[in-house]
Amino acid sequence: MRNHSLVYAPRIRDLLDRTEKVFRIDPATVGVADCRLLADIVAARPVRSDERSVYKPAAGADIPHDSATRTIRALGQDVMAGIRTPPPPARALAGAWPYASTSYLRRWLFASDPLPVSLLSKRGVTRSDALSRIVDRAVTLRPGSEAAGRSTALAGLIRGASDPLDRKQAIAMYRRATATLCDGVAALAGNALWLLRQAREQRGEERGAAPADLTAALWETLRLLPPAWMLWRKGGDAYTALHPEIGPGDDVALFPLLMHRHPDYWSDPMEFRPERWTGVADPEKTPAFMPFGFDGARCWAKHLVVPLAERLLTVAFDNGLVIRGPHRDAPVPLRSLLSVRFDAATGA
């Protein structure tokens, strides 16, 4: 796009250069971007607990279904309460994205929790195994009071745990849920900012208010730069009859990133065209579109991600947030979430 481009990590670039829909990545892994085969793989067997992210085993035991349900409900309450409150000062959005926006979201949604509970989601703590263990033990022994009713529902699950194992799992779920939500929303919002900037520069606009249909811009961002760009399935006999390339010992990597860009499924697949979603009542029912995973492993926070990203972007636009650099090539590193790296400044 004009004088700016994305520079993907080499392994991502190699994937994007492929034209085939089913291909071998290495001797033990097959990649899939074929819409029909992907659906067959999804339907072949239920998702295993160790293939999940947030709900994988914690504290040496599986996460019970009722515990997972309580976590989803609590997180939904916290996000809905958070986006109804005034956001923090927008100057905190300045700096390196997506890190600045991740920290901003954590402060917005979870800062009311008592110490040390609020430390569970702090980036400086989560990046250190030693600090994480110290904070986890402190919360296990002393989860804190409700702070006059202002703490989050997620923190309430920690305080209300019935025994040490339940409390340890509630702590793990707090950490995973807050990190997954904030990291995912920050990646989506940052990717949308970058794509919208390029579209405006193509039209000769330097900056401007939020687009009239910001929701459509976010759905189009989820198509071109889906944060959850790859989904992993462990191998087994359930897949061998679905395609001759898949052997009994092969793991399978499903690539929404490639499927979302394939010309067999999309017109002008490399163009950022938010208008393609105008009037679409349920984008997730669009063929060859998998922004939030699939049944059995669908993102547990999918109903929160787009509204929260829209709210975050509205704050950014209202306060004159602009991308300052890199001046030419923006990096997209190989990480679990696909996110453009850039520096931003705000007029607030």
Model confidence band, residue 247 (pLDDT cutoffs 50, 70, 90): very high
Beta bridge partners of 61: 58
Reply yes or no on whether the pLDDT at 206 is more than 90: no
| Averaged pLDDT, 261-265 | 96
What pLDDT shows up at residue 1?
Answer: 42
| DSSP assigned state of 270 | T
Query: Tell me: the pLDDT tens digits for 16-31?
Result: 999 999 999 999 999 9
Between 197 and 24, where is the model more confident?
Answer: 24
Reply yes or no on whether the pLDDT at 185 is more than 90: yes
Please count the other Cβ atoms lying within 10 Å of the Cβ belonging to residue 149: 6
Model confidence band, residue 165 (pLDDT cutoffs 50, 70, 90): confident
Nearest to 199, CA basis, from 174, 222, 217: 217
Cα distances from 155 to residues 18, 70, 71, in angstroms, run 45, 12, 10
Write down the pTM of the prediction.
0.92
What pLDDT shows up at residue 144?
Answer: 67
What pLDDT shows up at residue 295?
Answer: 61
Count of all residues that appear for the chain in the document: 348
Between 306 and 60, where is the model more confident?
Answer: 306
What pLDDT shows up at residue 148?
Answer: 47
Beta bridge partners of 97: 342
Reply yes or no on whether the pLDDT at 348 is more than 60: no
Reply yes or no on whether the pLDDT at 2 is more than 60: no
How buried is 186 (Cβ within 10 angstroms: 0-12 exposed, 13-18 middle, 19+ buried)?
buried
Query: Tell me: the pLDDT tens digits for 98-137?
Result: 999 999 999 999 988 887 787 887 777 777 888 888 888 8
What pLDDT shows up at residue 139?
Answer: 85
What pLDDT shows up at residue 149?
Answer: 56
Reply yes or no on whether the pLDDT at 208 is more than 90: no
Report CA 285 to chain centroid distance, whole Å: 19
Residue 22 near residue 345, CB atoms below 8 Å = no
Query: Tell me: the pLDDT tens digits for 275-289?
Result: 999 989 989 889 999
Average pLDDT over all residues of the chain: 88
What pLDDT shows up at residue 205?
Answer: 64
**What percentage of the chain has pLDDT greater than the value 70?**
93
Model confidence band, residue 156 (pLDDT cutoffs 50, 70, 90): very high
What pLDDT shows up at residue 111?
Answer: 84
Six-digit token string for 238? 């359930």
